[in-house]
Amino acid sequence: MTRRLVEIDSLTDFDARSRAAARMSGWVVQSLDLTGRSAELLAHDPRGAVLLGCAFAPGVEEELRRRGALLFPRLPDLPFDPYRPALYDAAALFGDGPYAASPDAAVYAWSKVPAPAPLDHTLAAALHDHAVTDALDEATAGTDPRRLVGVMGGHALQRGEPGYAAAAALGAELARAGLTVLTGGGPGAMEAANLGAYLSPWPDALPAALDLLAAAPTYRAAMDPWLSAALAVRARWPVEEAGRSLSVPTWFYGHEPTNVFATGIAKYFANALREDTLLHRCRGGIVYLPGQAGTVQEIFQAVTENFYAADASLVAPMVLVGVEYWTRTYPAWPLLRALGEGRTMGAVVHCVDTVEEAAALVG
């Protein structure tokens, strides 16, 4: 018989569970300050409980361990929680000051250690990425995987450019169709797609938002004006009423800032894990806007899964936007079409010229 696990990541949940049961078997308690819950902890049978990075009153940790609980200690001197129980959002990454003083900047600086990294460093990063995957599982629980649609594209696309507006229109159209947009979380086309999904409840808001953002077209000129323009959009159209979308960025490319328009941000240290996580979850299909090496990599990483899929139901649509771009500038389309010939994936790979055509082919 499989033991049922119960994840507990708030004191409210802990208190409710504590009142309802005398045993903690199967409890997984993440990153809670339990210094005020000593009586409750010691009144329960802790065998089979797992406590990750929690804080305890003196003597309680030793007693729980003695009585059979499994405890993972807090790791010292980290600018992040390796047992994080939830996805990030813009506030958690950027705070309310300049970018250089933000939690995101501190974590990126921590991540840039020369190889080989010390064991405690790699362990903390691995624990963090495992926790983020678990949080992403929770964020998408109950969502039909075929309603998760990826939007990939170049990070160099600037606010104010026609391609940026088109990517935002795509994100809005997908969100209004009831789909959840997933992006790589960076600037450029990824930011635009998350922006469109964010503003989807306000049908007439996109032109005004694009005008606000165009005042700071790229983070490369200066990070703080770029970030401030995006936060001004969020202030005008508040997140509590915004459309849902997700992003999966990485500190491996930490010099490219995470955009603030995804309502859930699964930020990883390991880029390979991040790429696999992002592409694997987009069962409703992926739209590829013009991009360069990173976008091409994502195309053929997804092609591999589709090409070798043993079950035809696991083959997800792939839609390249920009016939001239993907045929001549970066000729991925001829190779993609050749790989699909005679296979199930051949029927679901497409190259179109407009985001409206792309939106009709996914989900």
> Rounded distance, CA 352 to CA 145, Å?
24
> Rounded distance, CA 218 to CA 222, Å?
8
Number of domains the chain contains = 2
Output the pLDDT for position 4: 77
Tokens of 32: 């809670």
> Rounded distance, CA 354 to CA 234, Å?
27
Is there a single domain that holds both residue 36 and residue 143?
A: no
> Rounded distance, CA 233 to CA 206, Å?
10
Q: Which of 36, 54, 72 is the last residue of a domain?
A: 72
Q: Which of 72, 96, 125 is the last residue of a domain?
A: 72
**Does any domain span residue 354?**
yes
Using the structure block, give the residue that is written with the tokens 């000729």. 331
**Does any domain span residue 48?**
yes
Q: pTM for this structure?
A: 0.93
Q: What is the pLDDT along the chain (363 residues), one digit of tens a residue?
A: 455 789 999 999 999 999 999 899 999 999 999 999 999 999 999 999 999 999 999 999 999 999 999 999 989 899 999 999 999 999 999 998 999 999 999 999 999 998 888 999 999 999 999 999 999 999 999 999 999 999 999 999 999 999 999 999 999 999 999 999 999 999 999 999 999 999 999 999 999 999 999 999 999 999 999 999 999 999 999 999 999 999 999 999 999 999 999 999 999 999 999 999 999 999 999 999 999 999 999 999 999 999 998 888 789 999 999 999 999 999 999 999 999 999 999 999 999 999 999 999 998
Is there a single domain that holds both residue 67 and residue 140?
A: no
Strand, coil or helix: what is 322?
A: coil
Structural domain of 58 = 6-72
Output the pLDDT for position 63: 97
Q: Which of 52, 72, 92 is the last residue of a domain?
A: 72
User: For the CA atoms of the chain, what is the radius of gyration?
Assistant: 22
Is there a single domain that holds both residue 148 and residue 20?
A: no
Is there a single domain that holds both residue 157 and residue 42?
A: no
Output the pLDDT for position 1: 44
Terminal C-alpha separation, the chain: 37
> Rounded distance, CA 260 to CA 187, Å?
9
> Rounded distance, CA 195 to CA 153, Å?
14
